[in-house]
Each structure stands twice: as structure tokens, then as C-alpha cells.
């Protein structure tokens, strides 16, 4: 049901995991188009994603990660209060969508749920109490939405399979990096070599992986591959930017097997790391529209990734794709690329061309605003 609108449209966004940069970009674009925007999310997100600069109002609400109704009660109560003046509620992530649906209760306020990269779908064969609970979360969040926006065709199909009423493809644009002042000729190459020297990669290939240190990111497979190319001369060095609870296990294996892998921890200089890298490696079990894949293609850095989720649709022919969990295939793809400069050059050009076909931030804002107008006018 749509609600006739009087005055400026007021949209309340509920911020879930792994969507802060997108929501910040979206909020700024909507405010610039005359929309009143309120963002509800973890307190740290306000500064982490520069929400004050977007013109949106920020309300700290701890969305959490569990599925305990009693523990969720404070968040639901806070959201219910903020929703009182909303023309439309837009939740980012399935958990945010579920809490938003509960907080709306019997209100007729339209609810838009965006299904992002942070919400890995539960495999149909997954068993156990955890798997059942997560499938229930998917169905409940998606069926409670007036409109579901999936960032990949795979997620659109999954949402329809869960019984969502109205599902649309809505690829989220990569936020543009802040403009940099002009640099003297040769400065870029000096900075590149300086970064490579920091990791001891002056005379050896440097591979970059970016993402949280979690099992679903496929870093165990990356270590399998690293073990295979460790004997090359020179052997490629893998730099992994990210932090997470799988770090200790990875460190133990890297030390025990003397693998050429560096765990860099959280970094805020990924653009500089990309400039220094020869290849980007994305070994994940699942991705919808991986940010590092988009950044690599934009930057013209060849990408080797697993053929999972929305990645094939995202990269087209502009990357080398391998099966998930196959360390031999990953090692062979990386080795073949390192030995073929012409292929790397071709992939770099293809990556930039593929990136030019993706929606811009303005395209994303325009699509979302058209959905809001449709639901509220």
C-alpha cells in the first residue's frame, strides 16, 4: 500500500553489516535531491562512514547480529520511535530488514530491503539448527518487504524463491574515492615502489587480497595455492588486508609451512595497495558484488576470483575465474597470469571497460528515489 506524501519525503535507513559505504553514498545523494534522510545504525558507523557530511541525521541503534527476541527488543523499540515520521523505511541487510519489519508492526509504511554482499545466502543443503534459523531469517525478512532490491541477479532469484512480493535488480555503485591533488611526473611510480618495498616485494610479484579474515572468504584455499607457488623463483608474495577471528588459525599455518603470505590487518590505504599490486586474488566462497573486485577492475589491476554468486555477472570476461575451494586451479591461474604480461595487459584494459558499464552513484540514487516515489505517491 502506498501513502500519499505531503511535504519533503522522509526516508529512514536501517544500516546492517557491510553496507556502510553504500548507505553513506546513497544518503548524500538523496539529501542532495531534497529527501530528508535519517540513518539508524551502530554508533561507530557515524564517523566510520562520514555520515555527518552527507546531510543525513544519524540515530545510534545497535542492530546486533543475533536472533534473540529479548535482546532485540531495545533496537526494535528505538526503530519504532524513529519510524513514526517516515514516509518509507529502507533496511540494508536481512537482519536490518527483519528488525525493521518487526518495528513497523501493523503500520502501512512501505519497507524496502536491500540484499547486499554482507548477507551470504544459506545454501539449500545446509542443515542443523543454525541453517534452519538463517533460512527462516531470509524468508521472514524478504517476505516482510514491500520491495526487495538485490544487488545481483542471483540474489534476485533467491528472493523470489523465498516468496518476496516485489523483487528488482539494483546493483550498488562503488563510492568514488576522494579526489587527489595533482602529483609530479614519476611520483606515482615512486609511491608504488615504496609500497612494494614496505612488504619486501621489490623483485618479486605482489598479490593482494582484501576482506575480513573469516572462513567464507576462502583464505584457507589461498594458502593452499601459496604453498604451490612458494617454490617458484621468485615466489609471489601475498598481502592480505583485513582483520577477523580466523587470523590466529591463518597465522599458525603461515608460520608452520613458511608460506609467502603477509597478514596486514585492517588498512585504510587499499587504493595505494592496489596500485602496488601485480594481481588481485578473491578466493571467497560467495560474493554478491565484491567491493575489491570492483576496485580492482576500476584500477586496471588483473583479477583472479572464484566463480561464485554474482562475481561472474559482475566481471564478465574481464577476470580469470576458478572454482571455489580448488587451490590447484587458483595457483595455476595466478602462475599463468604472472608468466603472461600480454594477458595481464589485456585484462587490465578489459577491467576498465567492464567497470565503465556499471551503474554510477547517480544511477543508484535515481533508481532508489524512483522506488520511493512509486511507493509514496
Please write the tens of the pLDDT for every residue from 215-241.
Answer: 999 999 999 999 998 888 899 999 999
Distance CA 125, CA 115 (A): 21
Question: Confidence class of residue 63 from pLDDT cuts 50, 70 and 90?
Answer: confident
Q: CA–CA separation, 18 vs 116, rounded Å?
A: 8
φ/ψ of residue 253, rounded to 5: -70, -40
CA-closest candidate to residue 229, choices 326, 336, 335, 303: 335
Q: How far apart are CA 355 and CA 231, in angstroms?
A: 35
Whether 17 shows a pLDDT value over 80: the answer reads no
User: Facing residues of 88 across strands?
Assistant: 11
Please name the residues in contact with 195: beta carbons below 8 A apart, sequence gap of 6 or more: 272, 273, 275, 276
Is the per-residue pLDDT at 8 higher than 80? yes
Structural domains of the chain, with CATH: 10-173+359-376 (3.40.50.2000), 187-355 (3.40.50.2000)
Whether the pLDDT of residue 187 is over 70: the answer is: yes
Q: Is the bond leading into 88 cis (omega within 30 degrees of zero)?
A: no
Residue 62 has pLDDT above 90, yes or no: no
What's this model's pTM, rounded to 2 decimal places? 0.88
Dihedral Cα 180, 182, 186, 189, nearest 10 deg? 10
Check the CA dihedral 219-346-228-194 and report its sign. negative
DSSP 53: G
Q: What does the block give as the cell for 41?
A: 545504525
Window from 5-14, 181-190, 358-367, 368-377 with minimum mean pLDDT = 181-190
pLDDT, position 121: 64
pLDDT of 202 over the 60 cut: yes
Q: Which of these, 91, 129, 120, 118, lies nearest to 12 by C-alpha position?
A: 91
Q: Which ranges of 33-174 does DSSP label H, i.e. alpha helix?
A: 43-48, 69-83, 94-104, 128-143, 153-161
**Spatial distance between the Cα atoms of 18 and 346, rounded to a whole number of angstroms:** 32
The rounded distance, in Å, linking the Cα atoms of 374 and 318 is: 36
E strands, the chain, in order: 10-15, 36-41, 57-60, 88-92, 111-115, 147-150, 167-169, 206-210, 237-241, 261-265, 279-282, 303-306, 320-322
Tally: H helices and E strands in the chain: 15, 13
Tens digit of each residue's pLDDT (9 = 90 or more) over 117-143: 666 665 544 444 455 666 777 888 899
Residue 59 exposed, middle or buried by CB count within 10 Å (0-12, 13-18, 19+): middle
Query: What mean pLDDT is predicted for residues 40-51?
Result: 93
pLDDT band at residue 180 using 50, 70 and 90 as cut-offs: low
What order of strands is seen across the sheet that includes strand 167-169? Answer: 57-60, 36-41, 10-15, 88-92, 111-115, 147-150, 167-169
The proportion of the chain whose per-residue pLDDT surpasses 70, expressed as a percent, equals 89
What's the pLDDT at 3?
A: 46
> What's 171's DSSP letter?
P
Give CA–CA dist 299/292, Å, rounded: 10
Q: Is 247 helix (H, G, I), strand (E, B) or coil?
A: helix
Mean pLDDT across 94-107: 91
Amino acid at each position: 500500500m502506498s501513502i500519499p506524501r505531503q511535504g519533503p519525503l522522509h526516508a529512514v535507513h536501517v544500516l546492517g553489516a557491510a553496507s556502510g559505504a553504500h548507505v553513506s553514498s546513497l544518503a548524500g545523494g538523496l539529501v542532495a535531491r531534497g529527501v530528508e534522510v535519517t540513518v539508524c545504525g551502530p554508533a561507530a558507523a557515524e564517523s566510520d562512514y562520514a555520515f555527518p557530511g552527507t546531510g543525513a541525521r544519524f540515530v545510534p541503534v545497535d542492530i546486533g547480529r543475533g536472533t534473540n527476541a529479548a535482546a532485540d527488543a531495545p533496537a526494535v523499540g528505538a526503530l519504532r520511535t524513529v519510524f513514526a515520521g517516515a514516509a518509507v523505511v529502507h533496511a540494508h541487510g536481512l537482519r536490518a530488514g527483519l528488525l525493521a519489519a518487526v518495528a513497523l508492526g501493523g503500520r502501512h509504511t512501505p519497507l524496502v530491503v536491500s540484499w547486499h554482499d554482507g548477507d551470504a545466502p544459506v545454501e539449500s543443503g545446509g542443515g542443523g539448527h543454525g541453517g534452519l534459523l538463517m533460512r527462516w531469517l531470509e524468508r521472514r525478512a524478504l517476505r516482510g518487504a514491500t520491495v526487495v532490491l538485490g544487488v545481483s541477479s542471483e540474489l534476485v532469484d533467491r528472493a523470489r524463491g523465498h516468496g518476496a512480493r516485489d523483487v528488482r535488480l539494483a546493483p550498488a555503485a562503488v563510492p568514488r574515492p576522494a579526489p587527489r591533488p595533482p602529483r609530479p611526473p614519476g611520483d606515482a611510480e615512486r609511491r608504488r615502489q615504496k609500497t612494494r618495498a614496505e612488504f619486501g616485494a621489490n623483485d618479486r610479484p605482489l598479490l593482494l587480497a582484501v576482506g575480513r579474515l573469516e572462513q567464507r572468504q576462502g583464505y584457507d584455499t589461498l594458502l593452499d595455492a601459496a604453498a604451490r607457488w612458494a617454490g617458484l623463483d621468485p615466489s609471489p608474495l601475498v598481502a592480505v588486508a583485513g582483520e577477523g577471528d580466523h587470523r590466529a588459525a591463518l597465522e599458525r599455518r603461515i608460520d608452520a609451512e613458511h608460506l609467502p603470505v603477509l597478514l596486514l590487518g585492517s588498512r585504510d590505504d587499499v587504493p595505494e595497495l592496489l596500485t602496488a599490486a601485480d594481481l588481485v586474488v578473491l578466493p571467497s566462497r560467495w560474493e554478491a558484488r565484491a567491493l575489491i573486485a570492483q576496485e580492482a577492475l576500476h584500477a586496471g589491476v588483473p583479477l583472479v576470483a572464484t566463480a561464485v554468486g554474482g562475481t561472474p555477472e559482475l566481471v564478465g570476461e574481464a577476470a580469470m575465474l576458478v572454482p571455489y575451494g580448488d587451490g590447484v586451479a587458483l595457483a595455476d591461474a595466478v602462475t599463468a597470469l604472472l608468466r603472461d604480461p600480454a594477458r595481464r595487459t589485456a585484462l587490465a584494459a578489459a577491467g576498465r571497460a567492464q567497470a565503465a558499464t556499471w551503474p554510477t552513484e547517480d544511477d543508484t540514487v535515481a533508481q532508489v528515489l524512483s522506488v520511493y516515489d512509486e511507493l509514496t505517491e
